[in-house]
Structure 1
Amino acid sequence: MAYKKAFELALMIFHNSKQFPKEEKYSLTDQIRRSSRSVCGYIAESYRKRAYPAHFKSKLSDADMENSEKSVWLDFAHACEYISIETHLELIQKSEEVGKLINYMILNPSKFGASTK
């Protein structure tokens, strides 16, 4: 569920960032897209590391870090008037939801097949 929601959010950010100014192509546009996609990557990596609980949690912690970074770039996108307040609030709300799912996984690794031995 966390991966699916993070993936959907990354696609929403991709589509919204298409309208950012060209001068942001190698800065804000790249950063916001990269961090949103990294959330998905780290979640996928964590699942493959679930046989090793510490690695599982570490990768999820990295996903949470990228999720937080993405929120900072969304704040900048709004402050620079590249996205509306409505879009900003929607994307932040979805980002917070992804964060809660990631934290649930961190706190409950056995529910995701991680060994608790």
Structure 2
Amino acid sequence: MQNYKDLRVWSKSHELTLKIYKVTKDFPKDELYSLTNQIRRASSSIPANIAEGCGKNTSNDFAKYLNISLGSANETEYFILLSKDLGYLSIEDYEISNKLVNEVKAMLILLIQKVRTSQT
């Protein structure tokens, strides 16, 4: 369908994933297989589903994968909040990560609308 690397939302979500990996490297070791793993999986699911959707043959399939990415973005947003509230993220890292995830969510919503409009 198209090259996912050409999409700004993919680039921004990849940036978010890199940020999440960076800020979670110092999470407590007892969180390695729980919160650390969950937030990393949720954030990496965003660009991964965008990439997978770009490989599909129809706009309907692409929109489906973008919706999955949006769900993962919402999940990531919650884990960022939880990490801050548990004291694992500094206020600065929280604000940067939260801003990034909200930018990704807004971009995904616009792209989903665009893809759905092009189907009609």
TM-score between the two structures when normalised by the length of structure 1: 0.90
Contact 2:60 2:119 in 1 (8 A): no
* 3-state SS, counterpart of residue 22 of structure 2: helix
Q: What is the root-mean-square deviation of aligned Cα atoms in Å? A: 1.6
Task: Map 1:103-114; keep pairs closer than 5 Å.
Answer: 103-109=109-115
Q: Which stretches in structure 1 are left out of the alignment for 5+ residues?
A: none
- 2:41 pairs, out of 18, 34, 37, with 34
TM-score between the two structures when normalised by the length of structure 2: 0.88
Deviation of 1:110 (Å): 7.7
Contact 2:60 2:116 in 1 (8 A): no
Q: Which runs of 4+ in 1 moved over 3 A?
A: none
Matched residue count? 113
AA aligned opposite 2:35: L
Deviations 1:57-79 (A, max 9, x none): 11000000000000111111101
Match of 2:14 in 1: 7
Task: Output the CA distance in 1 between the equivalents of 2:18 and 2:61.
Answer: 27
Match of 1:58 in 2: 64
